[in-house]
Amino acid sequence: MLVTPTMPQVRFHSEEPTAVRRTVLDPEQLADWVPSACATVAEHLRLHGIAPAGYPFARYHALPDGEIEAEAGFPVAAPVTDSDQIEPSKLPAGPVLAVWHTDPDQQLAETYHTVDDWLDTTHAAPTGDRWEVYHDLPTCDRVGTRIEIIQPITFATT
């Protein structure tokens, strides 16, 4: 049985402080890096008595040389201080488009195409880097199959 991505949903996202690990890497390294980065952040939060305020996530930005700048971690109730491996960051406030990826046999790229198709057929435009929220907690070797893709957007005025 083929499960397609859910219908895109527009909603407002409140700004969230986050604790993240950052790196620059090749795109094919991302799937291996995200679970270990989330585990490192989770351990840092545990050692400092800080509870995550949401599910783990990853956000990345394509660089001109083909690499990506990535951050992965957890939302937190208040900004964290820098450490050797963990930095404060934030997820932006504003309107977003959310699409769920829940099919373990489907490529995540197909769900990204759903986001792109929606943007192409509406009066909306992306306003920043997307992020993935992992509703199955990442293990040491994978990120799970219940992934919500969040794309900040703006609506064109006519």
pLDDT at 155 (0 to 100): 86
* Average pLDDT rounded to a whole number, residues 75-102: 91
Examine the pLDDT at 10 and tell me if it is beyond 90.
yes
CA distance 72 to 58: 4
Residue 13 has pLDDT above 70, yes or no: yes
Residue 41 pLDDT level (bands cut at 50, 70, 90): very high
Instruction: Using alpha carbons, list the distances in angstroms from residue 40 to 47, 60, 87, 128, 158.
Output: 11, 18, 12, 26, 46
CA of 10: how far to CAs of 57, 119, 138, 146, in Å? 19, 11, 26, 19
Domains along the sequence of the chain with CATH: 9-155 (3.20.80.10)
**Beta strands 87-91 and 68-75, pairing class:** unpaired
What sign does the CA torsion over 61, 92, 113, 41 have? positive
Q: Which residue has the tokens 């527009």?
A: 10
Distance CA 13, CA 11 (A): 6
* 3-class DSSP state of 110: helix
Question: For the whole model, what pTM was predicted?
Answer: 0.88
Residue 2 pLDDT: 41
Evaluate if residue 88 carries a pLDDT over 90. Answer: yes
